[in-house]
A and B are shown apart, each in its own frame.
Chain A
């Protein structure tokens, strides 16, 4: 019950965000007002079952930094000219945040998450050339109230049926089986066309089986010249110069046995008892500049640094002793906390 209450609270928060985007809430309240169970019972446009789900929403992906590691750690036959490719590393396009969740199908079949109409199919072409299918084969279904669900994977084979009206649970394609479960594994994304945002799929998944809290790997203060990594030393308190800093945190939501990963959902930072940041990964707004996560500016690369740390905003640190507490919650409600005491001079 406690978890269901939290889920309802999270949905309401998301719904408020939709309302901010100018959308009438009535449908959302009608669909999800009674919590996840009743949402599915009431015929929500989207409903997903939890089965070894991995929610990736807000996880950073690197296009060139990983590549740079590959250069450093592995073979590279022409290392002489690498200097000029440094420009890729810190470019806006070098990284982005994910918008989906990896779901398991039923056997090899991928079920539709709700009633709707076939909107777009990207399938193997008879021809070579043209724009590559970077996302692999994918299929998009338009649902009522502006939602569009996307299903993709490299091994995804959209159904060859010419049926365009789709019912919830219809098999819309086949995907390669995940080695452990024997079920199809595919990427699910959900776009809210009316509100112009990507919704975290976790909001539509019933009863997460996730008992492990996220892990706060690192807290960093990014100054103009130096970066300070949080350490709680036994003998002496860490000292940093006073000034303006960008708070950055590196967090993972780990996998435990055959459970799901409900994904990082909320980040809260408290400085000397005052909340300085409280941000949610419930959605990503679509703006002219791309996707805006965590209430930060678009593109999504602006919400993560080149070390994969999520950015929570700027803070002035005056001279004196400070206590910074960072709380991280996954969607299932598991909490992680890190308290850092330091001196600013």
Chain B
């Protein structure tokens, strides 16, 4: 490729970038006021980041200079790479990178192994039924299972607690965990549980055990995993249910369903905490994508985004939407 063609490609890239920004600013008008959010940039994904992301389809996120995992479909093996990108350990399993922790899931989704940042084996655990949902904090992990139980593990992989919603007041015909969230201090656990009926449940730690403190029976029910996420300060939990967005106030021990018009029905929702009490979200409804911000249970902003956007991540006080080719950076302003 000669210098002229490189320059030409570069110019075309900038033209497309500017056009995309204009499209977002003008054509994609917000559905809800957007005062707290402003688009900072819309740029083509850099080659470095694209390579890192495409190497881990659906399997977490690692930037250059961190340990990464590369699935070699031909060999049927996962290769753990060192920080220089060299292959160091082949594994028959699937990587799960969350909150700076590295897990390997078994191919039957019924066991998990944690390894350290330098690739050393830490612990391994086999579950009775496949994992359907999970929540990872720096010191704890919660694993929701097909049989409706939730195992809460410490950093060494020891089972600290096992929650069985069927043993409390959740009298579902069938038990299954569709979503789980554990607070970083382990004091609160929320779950989307069961079929016929489905419940949004919250537990608070009382001594060594968890006590059911909030139970909301839902009218409609999901059959697939949904994200449940704590706010940055740990005061709220939100997650999508088939009735709408479920919100739990930890201090008041009260839950409610909000915004059914946006979040109910067939949809997928990715949620990330922003600041102490906010949540950025990415909503998929068919081929359409929407993003926005939720504060104190209220939608502060909701706007359509590029239909190819496939991930949401938080950067400082803002957030980043990424498609295969584009990165859209948003800033969240204090009100």
Contact with A along B60-88 (1 / 0, CB 8 A): 11000000000000010100001000111
Given the known inter-chain contacts A134-B109, A150-B130, please indicate yes or no for A119 contacting B58, CB distance below 8 A: no
CB distance from A131 to the nearest CB of B (A): 5
CB distance from A191 to the nearest CB of B (A): 6
Complex: chain B residue closest to A99, CB-CB:
B108
Give chain A residues whose Cβ lies under 8 Å from the Cβ of B109.
133-135, 138
Assess whether A120 is in contact with B176, with CB atoms less than 8 Å apart: yes
Give chain A residues whose Cβ lies under 8 Å from the Cβ of B121.
85, 87-88, 91, 93
Complex alpha-carbon distance, A118 and B198, angstroms: 13
The reply on A76 being an interface residue by CB < 8 A is: yes
Choose, from B26-34, B220-228, B325-333, the stretch at the interface. B220-228
CB distance from A330 to the nearest CB of B (A): 22
Given the known inter-chain contacts A63-B92, A134-B109, A191-B147, please indicate yes or no for A129 contacting B223, CB distance below 8 A: no
Assess whether A191 is in contact with B310, with CB atoms less than 8 Å apart: no
* B15-55 residues at the A interface, CB under 8 angstroms: 53
Selected from B105, B119, B124, B133, the residue in CB contact (under 8 A) with A134 is: B105
Complex: chain A residue closest to B53, CB-CB:
A128
CB distance from A261 to the nearest CB of B (A): 19
Complex alpha-carbon distance, A61 and B91, angstroms: 12
The reply on A117 being an interface residue by CB < 8 A is: yes
Choose, from B93-101, B233-241, B250-258, the stretch at the interface. B93-101
Complex: chain B residue closest to A98, CB-CB:
B108
Complex alpha-carbon distance, A121 and B109, angstroms: 14
CB distance from A153 to the nearest CB of B (A): 11
Complex alpha-carbon distance, A93 and B195, angstroms: 32
Give chain B residues whose Cβ lies under 8 Å from the Cβ of A125.
58, 268
Contact with A along B134-167 (1 / 0, CB 8 A): 1000000000001100000000000100100000
The reply on A126 being an interface residue by CB < 8 A is: yes
CB distance from B108 to the nearest CB of A (A): 6
Complex alpha-carbon distance, A71 and B59, angstroms: 23
CB distance from A314 to the nearest CB of B (A): 22
Choose, from A2-10, A15-23, A37-45, A293-301, the stretch at the interface. A293-301
Assess whether A70 is in contact with B77, with CB atoms less than 8 Å apart: yes
Give chain B residues whose Cβ lies under 8 Å from the Cβ of A75.
87
Assess whether B58 is in contact with A85, with CB atoms less than 8 Å apart: no
Complex alpha-carbon distance, A93 and B123, angstroms: 8
Give chain B residues whose Cβ lies under 8 Å from the Cβ of A121.
223-224
Selected from B59, B105, B146, the residue in CB contact (under 8 A) with A140 is: B146
Complex alpha-carbon distance, A128 and B124, angstroms: 25
CB distance from A230 to the nearest CB of B (A): 29
* A73-97 residues at the B interface, CB under 8 angstroms: 75-78, 81-82, 84-85, 87-88, 91-94, 96
Give chain A residues whose Cβ lies under 8 Å from the Cβ of B174.
117, 119, 142
- Total interface residues on A, CB under 8 Å, equals 63
CB distance from A165 to the nearest CB of B (A): 11
Give chain A residues whose Cβ lies under 8 Å from the Cβ of B318.
none
Given the known inter-chain contacts A91-B113, A132-B94, please indicate yes or no for A122 contacting B86, CB distance below 8 A: no
Complex alpha-carbon distance, A227 and B212, angstroms: 52
Assess whether A127 is in contact with B224, with CB atoms less than 8 Å apart: no
Contact with B along A105-125 (1 / 0, CB 8 A): 000000000000111111101
Give chain B residues whose Cβ lies under 8 Å from the Cβ of A122.
132, 224-225
Assess whether B92 is in contact with A287, with CB atoms less than 8 Å apart: no
Given the known inter-chain contacts A70-B90, A164-B223, please indicate yes or no for A63 contacting B126, CB distance below 8 A: no
CB distance from A146 to the nearest CB of B (A): 9
Selected from B53, B90, B159, the residue in CB contact (under 8 A) with A67 is: B90
Assess whether B89 is in contact with A286, with CB atoms less than 8 Å apart: no
Assess whether A128 is in contact with B108, with CB atoms less than 8 Å apart: no
The reply on A64 being an interface residue by CB < 8 A is: yes
Complex alpha-carbon distance, A339 and B64, angstroms: 58
Give chain A residues whose Cβ lies under 8 Å from the Cβ of B53.
128
Give chain B residues whose Cβ lies under 8 Å from the Cβ of A127.
268, 270, 282, 284, 310-312
Selected from A130, A150, A291, the residue in CB contact (under 8 A) with B58 is: A130
Give chain A residues whose Cβ lies under 8 Å from the Cβ of B75.
70
Selected from A66, A84, A128, the residue in CB contact (under 8 A) with B120 is: A84
The reply on B129 being an interface residue by CB < 8 A is: yes
Given the known inter-chain contacts A120-B176, A290-B111, please indicate yes or no for A61 contacting B129, CB distance below 8 A: no
Assess whether A126 is in contact with B310, with CB atoms less than 8 Å apart: yes
Selected from A92, A123, A196, the residue in CB contact (under 8 A) with B224 is: A123
Selected from A82, A91, A119, A131, the residue in CB contact (under 8 A) with B195 is: A119
Given the known inter-chain contacts A117-B195, A142-B174, please indicate yes or no for A64 contacting B107, CB distance below 8 A: no
Assess whether B107 is in contact with A61, with CB atoms less than 8 Å apart: yes
Assess whether A85 is in contact with B88, with CB atoms less than 8 Å apart: yes
Contact with B along A270-307 (1 / 0, CB 8 A): 00000000000000001111110000001111000000
The reply on B264 being an interface residue by CB < 8 A is: no
Assess whether A78 is in contact with B82, with CB atoms less than 8 Å apart: yes
CB distance from B235 to the nearest CB of A (A): 23
Given the known inter-chain contacts A96-B108, A122-B224, A127-B268, please indicate yes or no for A63 contacting B113, CB distance below 8 A: yes
The reply on A241 being an interface residue by CB < 8 A is: no
CB distance from A117 to the nearest CB of B (A): 7
With A64-B89, A99-B110, A120-B178 given, can you name 5 additional A-B contacts, CB distance below 8 Å? A61-B107, A71-B90, A93-B125, A127-B310, A164-B223
Can you list the 7 inter-chain pairs with the closest CB atoms, starting with the nearest?
A93-B124, A290-B126, A286-B128, A67-B90, A299-B126, A135-B109, A134-B105
Listed in ascending order, the chain B residues whose CB lies under 8 Å from chain A are 53, 57-61, 75, 77, 82, 86-96, 98, 104-113, 118-121, 123-134, 146-147, 159, 162, 173-176, 178, 195-196, 223-225, 227, 268, 270, 282, 284, 289, 310-313, 322
A/B interface sample: 30 pairs, CB < 8 A = A63-B92, A63-B113, A64-B89, A67-B90, A70-B77, A76-B87, A77-B87, A82-B89, A85-B120, A87-B121, A93-B125, A93-B126, A96-B110, A96-B111, A117-B196, A119-B174, A128-B311, A131-B96, A131-B134, A132-B59, A132-B60, A132-B96, A132-B105, A134-B106, A142-B195, A164-B223, A286-B128, A288-B159, A289-B126, A299-B126
